[in-house]
Amino acid sequence: MKLTGAQVIWECLVREGVKTVFGYPGGANLPLYDAMLDYPVHHVLVRHEQGAAHAADGYARAGGGVGVALATSGPGATNLVTGIATAYMDSSPIVCITGQVASKFIGYDAFQETDITGITLPITKHNYLVTEGRDLTGVLREAFYIARSGRPGPVLVDIAKDAQQASIDWEYDDRPIRLPGYRLDVHPLSKSLQQAVEMIQSASRPVILAGQGVLLSGAMNELREFAEKERVPVAMTLLGIGGFPSGHPLNLGMMGMHGEAWVNQAIQQADLLLAMGMRFDDRVTGNLKTYAPDAKKIHFEIDPSEVGKNVKVDLALVGDVRESLTQLLPHLQPGDHSEWIDYIQEMRGDSTVRDILNLPDNGHLYAAHVVNDLWRLTHGEALVVSDVGQNQMWTAQYYKHDQPYTQITSGGLGTMGFALPAAIGARFARPEAEVWAIAGDGGFQMTQAELATAAQEDIKVNIAILNNGYLGMVRQWQEFFYERRYAATPMKSPDFVKIAEAHGLTGLRVTERSEVEAAVRQAQDTPGTVLIDFRVEQEDSVFPMVPAGADLHNMIRRPLPEVLVETAQSDL
């Protein structure tokens, strides 16, 4: 049949299962937008292309499949960059389709021309420039395949305007994709599996480090079976949260810079680390020289370039973590590490006493209270999208996830402004879920314009702003490491309630701990997007904290309650 290039693009997208796309039209993708009206695809008009990329990312991470973002050439394309880099660092499958100036103008600095394939080369899993309509089908099929397979990641397809306008005698090509340089056939060697069995069964202080790879490969059941069979405690990376139920007795909690003290201590004292789908990021290892010095390390990893990158491992099981666990499990005899687990329990020690939640009520509203109440009032079942900074760490610490794919956050790149657009994207992937975006006052303002997107789409995304009047995490570093010299961190924000109202949305403000519950319930019961401006303790810090580059066991702890109560009272 005779189709235009633009129609071919939609034919391909629909065949890839795309139902929702996030984007922004412009000169170089006009043909694509014109053709869209004839296809069963819902388009979400964002207010900035960065929002489109984050929304596609949130859509993918919430389980919607490959997320799709559309943008025009030039500034439209460059505005995607932060979102693409975010998806790349967190292995999130998105396909970005950008319009490009007509092929005869490429290289001539035409209006709104930019070399977006060149710009995104180091932050995409792969990218394409299409100048011929006949190449579209092959390229788009490859793009989706590459984005979703193996270690997922973003793929950008830049399509010249004339390729969108080309008239093509078209038939869908469903022959198997041939990519001779793209191999997914990585499997653990049987001798490596054998070696792993021996290492696991001779360990007395093992710890599992569960990363996002567990979620990406869908290895939750296998991980649980493994942990239960061998009685091995499970520590999670930030992005690994949800891969193992937080309520499970073998769950330790989050590791790393703001991980719980006992989790980091357990890792430092372990004699075997089973790293599953995690990449030993500097935020989880601290000083590499003193990292888990007595532990042998087994790395379950799908990406060979991650093996031995940061931490030298004793054994690598290269391949899909689910497949590796499935192969490993039948060879393992049940294990028992009760003594080790009891020991870790003891290490929890004074952590509970230091927990801000156990502080006597001093009338102050701490962010931890807000997140804890949110967790309680949503029965731990909400889809929580956090921003970056203190709000992100408090959310990770106090919102307990028992289900996979319910925590979404920008881990690797740490992109402020991620929460709201990603929550909008997540909402489209999981329309039945209760979605909460949790952001600080700083990050929220970076992509605040997407409130208009939520309003136009008439969707319900609840927004909790943990408003402390500072760029809190930077302020915390200034407090700890720069003698409280608060350079450029105090932040004056607009009236967020009025901002919400200006969009025709509901805005609420909470200043007292006693008001949290009513506000959350009101948000839950109100149709449409609701924003709550929580005025939390201004100079609270995230504890514990491993200073950047410090030994993982050398944590700055929250001061003991006596000190806190005193400080609080003197404030009163």
Partner 1 sequence: MQHTLVALVEDKPGVLNRVASLFRRRAFNIESLTVGHTEQPGISRMTIVIDSNVTNAERVTANLYKQVNVIQVSDLAEQPAVSRDLALVKVAAVPERRSEIMQLVEVYRSRIVDVTNDSLIIEITGDENKIDSFVDVLRPFGILEMVRTGVVAMARGANPQPSFNGNGNGNGHHQEL
Contact between 178 and partner 1 (CB under 8 A)? no
111 classed as catalytic: yes
Which of 30/315 has CB closer to partner 1?
315
What whole-number distance in Å separates Cα of residue 119 and Cα of residue 77?
10
SS3 (DSSP) at 28: helix
Q: In the set 102, 315, 332, 556, which binds partner 1 (CB under 8 A)?
A: 315
301 classed as catalytic: no
| Shortest distance (Å) from residue 165 CB to partner 1 | 22
Interior/surface letters 283-312, b for 16+ CB within 10 angstroms, e for the rest: bbbbbeeebbeebbbbbbbbbeebbeeebe
What is the pairing mode between strands 42-45 and 272-276? unpaired
Q: For 62-98, give the DSSP string.
A: IIISSEEEEE-STHHHHHTHHHHHHHHHTT--EEEEE
Q: Which of 111, 345, 498, 566 is catalytic?
A: 111
Per-residue tokens: 33: 């937008």
CB 304 within 8 A of CB 183: no
Type and span of the H or E element at 386: strand 383-386
> Looking at residue 242, what DSSP letter applies?
T
Per-residue tokens: 301: 């990893």
What whole-number distance in Å separates Cα of residue 476 and Cα of residue 468?
12
Contact between 125 and partner 1 (CB under 8 A)? yes
What whole-number distance in Å separates Cα of residue 86 and Cα of residue 91?
9
Contact between 120 and partner 1 (CB under 8 A)? no
**Of 218-226, 301-309, 336-344, 408-416: span binding partner 1 (CB under 8 A):** 301-309
Contact between 40 and partner 1 (CB under 8 A)? no
- Per-residue binder mask for partner 1 (CB under 8 A), 184-203, x = binder: -xxx-x-xx-----------
**Of 243-251, 312-320, 377-385, 455-463: span binding partner 1 (CB under 8 A):** 312-320
**Of 57-65, 122-130, 401-409, 464-472: span binding partner 1 (CB under 8 A):** 122-130
**Of 11-19, 44-52, 113-121, 379-387: span binding partner 1 (CB under 8 A):** 113-121
**Of 282-290, 300-308, 343-351, 408-416: span binding partner 1 (CB under 8 A):** 300-308
| Shortest distance (Å) from residue 182 CB to partner 1 | 5
- Centre a 10 Å sphere on the Cβ of residue 458 and count the other Cβ atoms it contains: 10
- Residues in 135-164 at the binding interface with partner 1, rule: CB under 8 A: 146
Residue closest to 356 by CA, chosen among 537, 569, 510: 537
Q: Which of 11, 16, 49, 301 is catalytic?
A: 49
What whole-number distance in Å separates Cα of residue 542 and Cα of residue 450?
28
- Per-residue binder mask for partner 1 (CB under 8 A), 518-557, x = binder: ----------------------------------------
112 classed as catalytic: yes
49 classed as catalytic: yes
Residue 549's region, left for phi above 0, alpha for psi from -120 to 50, else beta, is left
Which of 304/549 has CB closer to partner 1?
304
Q: In the set 121, 357, 548, 560, which binds partner 1 (CB under 8 A)?
A: 121
Contact between 126 and partner 1 (CB under 8 A)? yes
Contact between 176 and partner 1 (CB under 8 A)? no
Total residues contacting partner 1 by CB under 8 A comes to: 30
Residue 38 has phi, psi (to 5 degrees) of: -95, 10
What whole-number distance in Å separates Cα of residue 223 and Cα of residue 291?
24
432 classed as catalytic: no
How far is the first Cα of the chain from the last one, in angstroms, to the nearest whole number?
A: 76
Contact between 309 and partner 1 (CB under 8 A)? yes
**Cis peptide leading into residue 544 (ω within 30°):** yes
| Shortest distance (Å) from residue 332 CB to partner 1 | 19
- Residues in 318-357 at the binding interface with partner 1, rule: CB under 8 A: 318-319
Contact between 122 and partner 1 (CB under 8 A)? yes
Contact between 231 and partner 1 (CB under 8 A)? no
What whole-number distance in Å separates Cα of residue 57 and Cα of residue 412?
13
SS3 (DSSP) at 434: coil
CB 385 within 8 A of CB 90: no
Given the rule CB under 8 A, which residues bind partner 1?
Answer: 117-118, 121-122, 125-126, 129, 146, 179-183, 185-187, 189, 191-192, 303-305, 307-309, 313, 315-316, 318-319
Catalytic residue set: 49, 111-112, 161, 473
